Amino acid sequence: MTITSPHLGSSEAWTDARLLFALEEVVEKELNRHLKVAKDWMPHEYVPFSDGRNFPGFFEDGQAWESEQSKVTDIGKIALVVNLLTEDNLPSYHHEIASLFGRDGAWGTWVHRWTAEEGRHGIVMRDYLLTSRAVDPDKLEQFRMAHMAEGFESDNRHSMLHSVAYVAFQELATRVSHRNTGHQSGDPVCDRMLARIATDENLHMVFYRNLLGAAFEMAPDLTMQSVRDVVVNFRMPGHGMPGFERAAAQMAIGEIYNMRIHHDDVLQPVLRFLKVLEIDGLGPDGLKAQEELGLYMGGLDSEASKFDAKLAARKERMAARAAL
């Protein structure tokens, strides 16, 4: 690589085009590593098709959906719908990253490979939900249409570095959400399926996390600013779906994804692995961003502790009511 000095990394020196070129070798290395460790899997092998029945419509023997037909817990159903609708927006995500990273060379190969792997997740989740009758199929399709018709624009589409920083955290957030949904679903089949999806998401996180680490070596100040911006303004990609705020609140109470999980299991692991708050030799802008990031993480931890206390009190009240 011809661009290695971090002090070439002033705001004026680095453009998206130069960073894309400078990181190409890292992308190729990480792509080759990913292809060696990633395992192909068949979505249909994780779906209990023998449990399936026809729905009303064109089939005379169709059986209407009823909530009692599934063993999945209520919180599991809510989280499954949120997770699937998030996966459904894959065409928009592909457009976003292909526009930023390009369709040629190692970047393009990664973009298409990532899209193909992510496509499995929507396939297997929808097949599972319909076969197991975990959710109302009509409402699920209505939600999908409404969500996708709104389109998707990333908060970080203005900057390649912001986008790399975002997906490093977001892929881990998705893994955690899938894994916790499986644990809370009440169905071992669902748990196994989501564990398989979570394995993919973790490998995607590792790819982007390592790429982010390389960006810190090349352009530490700009990368630090990007990480600060992403962490402080982080939103999950499904935030625009119908009923997202209510569903997110229920998932927080159900301990699938909340502030404590976001702080401890998503933000901290990436920041700690890359030693982001320990990086020295930063310029004024990078140092300011690092300090602001540290302050934000401290504040988020305090807010998460308040949430923990409220959640514990809620559990105590519910236990007391159940004992009456």
pLDDT in tens, 9-32: 455 588 888 988 999 999 999 999
Whether 87 has a binding-site annotation, put simply, is: yes
Whether 204 has a binding-site annotation, put simply, is: yes
Rounded to whole angstroms, how far apart are CA atoms 306 and 317?
17
pLDDT in tens, 80-132: 999 999 999 888 888 888 888 888 899 999 999 999 999 999 999 999 999 99
pLDDT in tens, 27-74: 999 999 999 999 999 999 999 999 999 999 888 888 999 988 999 999
Say if CB 94 and CB 111 are below 8 A apart: yes
Whether 245 has a binding-site annotation, put simply, is: no
Q: What are the backbone angles phi and psi of residue 42, rounded to the nearest 5°?
A: -105, 115
Whether 201 has a binding-site annotation, put simply, is: yes
pLDDT in tens, 188-224: 999 999 999 999 999 999 999 999 999 999 999 999 9
Say if CB 61 and CB 54 are below 8 A apart: yes
Q: What's the DSSP call for residue 322?
A: H
Burial (CB < 10 A; 0-12, 13-18, 19+), residue 69, is middle
Rounded to whole angstroms, how far apart are CA atoms 188 and 182?
8
Q: Does domain 26-46+72-323 have CATH number 3.30.300.30?
A: no
Whether 158 has a binding-site annotation, put simply, is: no
Rounded to whole angstroms, how far apart are CA atoms 77 and 81?
6
Q: What are the backbone angles phi and psi of residue 60, rounded to the nearest 5°?
A: -65, -30
The residues spanned by each domain of the chain are 26-46+72-323
Whether 141 has a binding-site annotation, put simply, is: no
pTM for this prediction: 0.91
